[in-house]
Structure 1
Amino acid sequence: MLEHPNFNPVALDLGFIKIHWYGIMYLVAFAQFMLLGRLRLRLPHVSALGWTKEHIDDMLFYGVLGVVIGGRLGEVFFYNASYYLAHPIEIPMIWRGGMSFHGGFLGVLAAMYLWSRKAKLSLPVVYDFIAPLVPLGYAAGRMGNFINHELPGRIASSDLPWAMIWPGVPYPVHPSPLYQALVDGVLVAIIMWWFASKRRPTLAVGALYVTLYGCARFFTEYFRTPDYEVDILGITISAGQMLSFPMIVVGIILMVFAYRGSFEPKAVTPNPAPSANNKKSKKKKA
């Protein structure tokens, strides 16, 4: 078996302020967003849509707000509503960990809606652009959970080579944050980058990410200690699976509509040039 390195969650203690690894992982996520965004600008089918570095920089500000506000509110209302309602002063303390991906996902969707209106860009086109930039940022967040000793997995057999002794847990567990960083993050990122490297129907890239993440998260939740479980038609599923299943359904539906051309920008029919007869009639009226 392996043993958790038991990292100190505080990367740097300056006395008057403490810099946490969890916060650093979010900075890594935002930095990779900018780097990968600039790499996407090199793709002909992306640059042809008029994307610029200025778009990425401006969009990131909105995205950060969406991730932080949506992620924290998702943690509060999806997973620990009773605790945070009893301790409301702790809601802004994001440096302690506790960010919901599903809440952050909804927050980013809302933030990109606002930004697209400001930038006067098609919302489906915006979603297609950012979708391949999200998975590695998610992986960085899960590494932050691992450093914070958060999200221990379910009980694992001691014969499993990578079963891990977790701080404060008396039995070996699956290192679920690492599973999710690799599967929900790195694996999904590889597939998304390949798919988005060529011109696809509008919103197909965004739809694929929603579907892939939902499937990956539904799978990796089997190895994570659930925040809580629900019974649906005799089937017990975790909170994370309950939130991921709608993503799978919606993603598949959006993909079908995308390949039917439902989100393609409508061509504007130019006004016909005035005919010679029309010109003559206008001169007579004058």
Structure 2
Amino acid sequence: MNANVKIPAPLAQSAPPTPGRARRMATAVGLFGLQRLLPPVVILALLGLLWELLCSGPGAALPPPSVVLSETWELIIDPFYDNGGNDVGLAWQLLASLERVAYGYLLAVIAGVALGVLIGQSDWAMRGLDPLFQVLRTVPPLAWLPLSLAGFQDSHPSAIFVIFITAIWPIIINTAVGIRNIPQDYRNVARVLQLNSIEYFTSIMLPAAAPYIFTGLRIGVGLSWLAIIAAEMLIGGVGIGFFIWDAWNASRISDIILALVYIGVVGFCLDRLVAFVGRRITRGAPAA
């Protein structure tokens, strides 16, 4: 074999983490688990144990967690079953509710931000519209349902309207507050640079008011999720709210408890999703 022939070196591979680096990563993961995951897990375990002890007696009105788990096991392991009509799994029930929330919430975001900018920019609009909004926002969401059913003659758009009318008020108010709290220095810079209306809106107004706007968006998405559950109990059809009402009529208390757990988890995820988007958009902006 020729000694001058060079054997090609193997492809470069990323070096494995050093023992010190791996140790630091393991320590960081452990600290995260102790600080963020362990406290809620311990609290949930204690509450579950207390619930089990209180509801295990013969005269208990509510089933203990062990009974809830055994009675709803089929719903848990098969959330996507579809037997036709309203007899579908919890995943389809949640998706139907989320679809209604998405439509109503999106309309509320568009209209709420636009009206909030108008009120924040115009003193005349503030004096004319703010008293009306303050009165309308105190009307309970379900009080709008009969009126929306009479107007739309259909349960689906009626539920979307209830979501819209519930979510729009915190978005309007927080957007208006954010616009009115834009520092005067920002406005002066816009005048010096001679920004037109579109440039001022995209470069000055929205970035400065974004923390306030996303505060309203987080409140609005939470209210939307609360309202759709109550509205679906009355309008019927597929949806997690109607599932709870139907389970109550059939005395399936365990199904109701499972649905409440799912509702809480989905509501938590919606809030965290809007908060995540807000952090990404408002990065570097002063906090509200």
Instruction: Classify the TM-score, shorter chain.
Output: under 0.3
Give TM-score scaled by structure 2 length.
Answer: 0.27
TM-score by structure 1 length? 0.28
Higher normalized strand content (fraction of residues): 1
Max Rg structure: 2
